[in-house]
């Protein structure tokens, strides 16, 4: 039984080895890595935040499901955010610096896409082209804060 089980595992490994290696890490992996590098210092490694200081990123999936929310997400990451927001029943009035200068467009898309799936949302993922279009809409962190869809 044990032998047969390990045989199955070896078989699966052989099948996997026969497949061509993907040219690049999957978008999800790149996004997770970039999130750890760019966002986790404030929002935590699992995006759970720090109550009252850094919000959890638990509403990214909700935002990704609406037009206004998608523009908001693109702008928070690129332009930054200030003003009072409420996430998970807690208020935040902080300042998030925009990451446009510190990140590449593809990196911002990968991070947001990783967060959407991390939220177990089936909302469409961002393409770099969509992100470019939406990042141009809201110009300042305060404007981004006012544009946050509350529900």
111 close to 45: Cβ distance less than 8 angstroms: no
CB neighbours of residue 130 within 10 Å:
15
70 near ligand HEC (CB under 6 A):
no
Half-sphere exposure of residue 105: CA atoms within 13 angstroms, side-chain side: 11
State which residue, 92 or 126, has the beta carbon closest to ligand HEC: 92
CA angle 54, 81, 37 (to 5 degrees): 60
Half-sphere exposure of residue 77: CA atoms within 13 angstroms, side-chain side: 28
Residue span 104-123 as binding mask against ligand HEC, x where in contact by CB under 6 A, dash where not: -------x------------
For ligand HEC, which stretch binds (CB under 6 A), given 1-9, 14-22, 89-97, 117-125?
89-97
Residues between 11 and 50 that touch ligand HEC (CB under 6 A): 38-39, 41-43
Name the residues that contact ligand HEC, by CB under 6 A. 38-39, 41-43, 54-55, 57, 59-60, 73, 76-77, 81-83, 85, 87, 92-97, 99, 111, 145, 148
């Amino acid at each position: 039984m044990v032998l047969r089980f390990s045989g199955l595992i070896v078989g699966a490994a052989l099948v996997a080895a026969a497949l061509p290696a993907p040219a690049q890490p999957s978008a999800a992996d790149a996004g997770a890595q970039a999130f750890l590098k760019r966002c986790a210092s404030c929002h935590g490694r699992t995006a759970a935040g720090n109550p009252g200081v850094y919000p959890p990123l638990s509403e990214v999936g909700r935002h990704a499901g609406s037009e206004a929310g998608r523009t908001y997400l693109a702008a928070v990451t690129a332009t930054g955010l200030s003003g009072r927001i409420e996430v998970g029943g807690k208020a935040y009035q902080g300042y998030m610096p925009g990451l446009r200068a510190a990140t590449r467009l593809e990196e911002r898309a990968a991070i947001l896409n990783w967060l959407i799936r991390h939220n177990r949302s089936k909302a469409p993922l961002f393409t770099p082209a969509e992100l470019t279009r939406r990042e141009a809409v809201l110009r300042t962190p305060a404007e981004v804060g006012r544009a946050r869809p509350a529900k």
